[in-house]
Amino acid sequence: MILVDRSLDLYGSETSKARHALRDQLAALVDQLHSLGTHSSKLQPSSQADFSDFYQMVRRLSPHDDVQRSLKAEVLRISLEFGQIRASALARESSSIPIPFLVVLVFWLTALFAGFGLFAQRNLIVIAVLCVCALTVSTAVFLILDMDQPLTGFMKLSIEPLRNAMAIIDDQR
């Protein structure tokens, strides 16, 4: 977003509305991601129309030379990539890990550790090692499930880079 803002700034003064729209979009996204972290809601497509407005503002620019043409192309390319990332985040309303797979995995791991427990010697070291191994495997499954939802949960993406980008964009004005 910083690169988009700087490219629009280099393009010229006719991009001021687009720059304001970009800043508003970024602020709305930060607010939405912050509320997503505090509430158990989903990422809403409410500001998708605003992003389309920004994209149309950039498309309507009429470059006067090759530098402006390349800046416009760069801004459009980055905007499309951002839109694709945002659309894929909106499309993932539920976990990408199928429940039947998870059930089979848990059953298989339970059977595996039950088998280890049946055929192992009954002493303190073996029981401790089996417990540590079971804890390690269950923690790995938990982390995989947690990382499947990158905006919520125990390990989530930080919104600090977006806040830093907003601060840099605000400083450029």
pTM of the model: 0.63
* Mean per-residue pLDDT of the chain: 83
Angle at 147 between CA 143 and CA 148, to 5 degrees: 120
Q: What is the largest CA-CA distance in the chain?
A: 82
Q: What is the pLDDT of residue 107?
A: 95
User: For the segment 96-124, what is each residue's pLDDT rounded down to a tens digit?
Assistant: 888 999 999 999 999 999 998 888 888 99
User: For the segment 72-87, what is each residue's pLDDT rounded down to a tens digit?
Assistant: 999 999 988 887 877 7
Q: What is the pLDDT of residue 161?
A: 84
Instruction: Write down the domain spans for the chain.
Output: 2-93+158-172, 99-147
With a cut of 70, say whether residue 50 has pLDDT above it. no
